Homo-oligomer: A and B are copies of this chain.
Amino acid sequence: MATPSDILRVLRTRAGTFVSGQALSAELNVTRTAIWKHVKALRAAGYQIESRPKLGYRYLSAPDALLPTEITEGLTTTYIGRQSIIYFRSCPSTNDAAREVGHRGAPEGALAVAEGQTRGRGRLGRGWVSPAGKGIYLSLLLRPRIRPEEAFQLTLLAAVAVARAVTGEGVAAKIKWPNDVLVEGRKVAGILTEIEAEADRIYQAVVGIGVNVNTTASLFPRSLRATATSLRMNTGHKHSRVQVLQRLLEAFEELYEGLKAGRFEEVLAEWRSLDITRGALVKATLLEGEVQGRATDIDRDGALLIAEEGGEVRRITAGDIEILRPATP
């Protein structure tokens, strides 16, 4: 049984030219009525397909949507966002969706992706602004053989993957500890890693990533307008969300394979090369108060080291930092 995806594939391989109903029918071994039905389904999903009497069908464009067919078309990963994709026009939180499919036994690399979220979550119980059709809101299900205290590795890895995808769009990305991806000092993406674990091992981890791709300033609440940005706000033009997502998944898989092979140091090295925290004068807001000083490094456990004025070095494992004065180059 040929599916709409089969029709789509054939039309795309001959993009720009008409393919007759008869040729399609012969190639896919379906009736011309079935082809017409599938084309209507594709159009309903947002694909533009021209049809002309005698000439047949011509592929014009894909919808601006993160449809699984679009995501996997040309994607070079083997398991990240490949075997299992759960797609939502809208859902409360892709992290919840990924966690739940994990409970039901979904394979590592399962992807939950949504056009929009109604209750997108950020770190520390904050929200993540998720206007439909503008950003990429995704969560990856992972089953790494690491301990709970090593989960930060996944977060740093995700930040590097996002930075690579953003850079691929011609936009220079930097990272601010622990996991903000910045473009010209403003936040373009956020990461929330959630785990289920016992003391010795992680049962499953969900890495949630939100990337502001085509979000416009007016879609951010007033309180975020000075600190949030999107690729579109930076370059002035729309970017392909599918393309950004594909580059992100590919970077993620490559880095994650390295982590699993015991080469987290390489991930950390790339993270450090993108980090704007080191050397900066920072203020950390912790549950138990504030710490101010120069950020000297992060240690192997992902903690930020801050040298206070008095000379004492404080190790920050949680909370937020504000950059008071950037590092002098």
Contacts and interface: CB of A to CB of B under 8 A. Distances in A.
A277 to B, nearest CB: 16
Nearest to A121: B198
A147 B317 contact: yes
A210 B124 CA distance: 33
B147 A200 contact: no
A156 B246 CA distance: 45
Contact of A199 (B151, B196, B199, B201): B151
A152 B193 CA distance: 20
A197 B148 contact: yes
Contacts of A145: 287
Given A149-B148, A149-B149, A195 B196 contact: yes
Interface in A197-236: 197-201, 203
A200 B318 contact: yes
Contacts of A155: 199
Contacts of A123: 198-200
A194 B201 CA distance: 10
Contacts of A326: none
A199 B287 contact: no
Given A147-B318, A148-B151, A149-B148, A192 B197 contact: no
A193 B200 contact: no
A177 B329 CA distance: 48
A131 interface: no
A319 interface: yes
A133 to B, nearest CB: 27
A178 B194 CA distance: 25
B318 A199 contact: yes
A152 B318 contact: no
Nearest to A152: B199
Nearest to A145: B287
Interface in A158-210: 178, 192-201, 203
B318 A201 contact: yes
A194 B198 CA distance: 4
A237 B193 CA distance: 50
Given A147-B318, A149-B149, A317-B147, A195 B197 contact: yes
Nearest to A318: B200
Contacts of A152: 199
Contacts of A196: 194-196
Interface string A304-319: 0000000000000111
Instruction: Kindly list the 7 A-B residue pairs having the minimum CB-CB distance in the complex, ordered from nearest.
Output: A200-B318, A149-B149, A148-B148, A194-B198, A196-B196, A152-B199, A195-B197
